[in-house]
Amino acid sequence: MKPFLKPIIDLIFIVLLALYILAGVALVPFHADEATQVYMSHDYAYQFLQRDLNLITYHDPPISPQEQELRMLNGSINKYLIGLAWHFAGFNIEHLNQQWDWGADFNYNLTTNHAPAQALLMAARIPSALLLASGVLWIFLIGLQLDGRPTAYLAALFYALNPLLLVNGRRAMMEGSFIAFTLLAVLAAIYWMKASGNRLWIISALLGIASGLAFASKHTALFVAAPILGACFLWALVCIIRGDTRQQGVHALLSLLLAGGLAALVFYALNPAWWGDPLHRAGEVLALRERLLSEQMNVFGGYPDFGASVSGFFNHVFIGQPQYFEIAGWENYISDQIAAYEASPWAGIAIGGSIIGGLLLLTLTLIGFARLFVRSAILSGARMIVLVWAVAALASTLLLTPLDWARYYLPAVPVVGLLFAYGLAGLFQFLRGKFRGRAG
C-alpha cells in the first residue's frame, strides 16, 4: 500500500466508527440519571442566560439545597454542554424538567414533569455522544503510539463496539465527557514523554487542560489523572538525577508545573460551587459522597466480600453485557426500549460476551499487559504511560466500586480494550514469526 493512503484509510475507519456511535443515540433506553443531568443544566441558564452567579455559588444555608448538593456531588462539564445543546436547539429554562423523584414510580415522574420531553432528551444526549465518539480518535492514536496500526485498529474497534460504553456514553450523562477527556489526558502524557523545546510547553498545556476537563467531568477521573501526572513527575526527576539529561529534566519538571496549574485552574473555573474555599468544598464533597454510597449500599446492597467484587469486575469488564438499569422493576417500564435497541444494529458487540469469551478476553489482556514489560525501554514513552494508566484504572475500579453497577466500571473498559488489542497484535506477530521460521 502506498504510504499516503494509510492516513486516509485511518481517517475513514475512525469516522465510520464515530458515526456508528452517533447512529444509536436516539434508540438507547432512558435512564433516570439523564433527568437529573438535564435538571442540573439549570446552572447553564443561571450563569450564561440570566448571568446571575449568585445562584450557582456556594451558600450556607443554600439557596436551593437540592441544586447545591447536586453541584457538589457531580461533574460540571456535562450540565453546561447540555445547556448549550438545548439552547441551540431552541429550548429555554421553562422547558426543563424537575429532578427525578426516586421515591415515586416511573409513570408519576413522566406525568409530573420530572422527566425531560423526548425532544429535549435527544438534544441533551448530543454532547455526551459526540465526546464519546471523539474517543475513537484518542484511543486510536494511543494504540498507534504504543504499537502501530494493528493495535490502533483493534483498540478503536473494541471501543466503538463495547456495549457498556455505548449505552452510558450515548445517554445524557457524565460518562461521555469523562471517558473522552481521560483518554485525551493519557494521549497528551504519551506525547509529553517525547516532546522537547516549544512543543513540550504546548503538550504540557494540553495535558493540564485535558486533565482538568476530565476531573471536571467526573471526580473519579482523579484516580487516573493524578497517577499519570505523578509518573511524568518521576520521569522528570530521573532525568534531573542523570547528568546527561539534567537540563531536559528541569524543563520537563517546569512544564509539569504548568500542566498541574492548568488542571487545577480549569477545574476551579468550571465549578463555581468550589469558589472561595476549595479545600473545605473538597472535604464536603467527600462527606457527601460517603453518605450517598452508604445510602445506596443500604438500599441496593453492596458486594459482601472481595470475591464478589472480583466476580462483578470480571462480569462487567470482561463479559461486558450491557446493563440498562440498576433498580429492579425498571424492566416493566423500558422493556420496549431495550428490545428496540437490541434489535437494531447499533447496540454493539460484547467481545467477551460469555464466561468463555470473557476468559479469552482476560487472557489476551494479560498478554498485552505482559508485553509492556518485554522490552528494556519500559521506563520511557508510551508503554510507561499505558502501564500507569492501566494499573490506576483497573485497580481503582476493582477496589473502589462497592455496587454491582456496570457504569461504575467504565474507566476500566478502554484500558482493557487497548491491552486486548496490544496482546492480540503481539500474539499474531509471535505466531507469524514462528510460521515463517518453520517455512524457512
Residues 6+ apart with CB under 8 A from 259: 192, 204, 205, 207, 208, 211, 229, 232
Residue 376 has a pLDDT of 52
Residue 301 has a pLDDT of 85
Residue 437 has a pLDDT of 63
C-alpha dihedral sign at 168, 170, 176, 180: positive
Residue 170 has a pLDDT of 98
Write out the three cell numbers for 248: 531536559
Residue 299 has a pLDDT of 85
Residues 6+ apart with CB under 8 A from 345: none
Residues of the chain scoring pLDDT < 70? 1, 243-244, 375-380, 437-440
Residue 258 has a pLDDT of 95
Residue 238 has a pLDDT of 85
Residue 181 has a pLDDT of 98
Residues 6+ apart with CB under 8 A from 107: 333
Alpha-helix residue ranges (DSSP H) falling in 270-305: 278-300
Q: What residue type is assigned to position 260 of the chain?
A: G
Convert the pLDDT of each residue in 211-262 to its tens digit: 999 999 999 999 999 999 999 999 888 888 876 677 888 889 999 999 999 9
For the chain, the first-to-last Cα distance in angstroms comes to 25
Q: Is the pTM of this model over 0.85?
A: yes
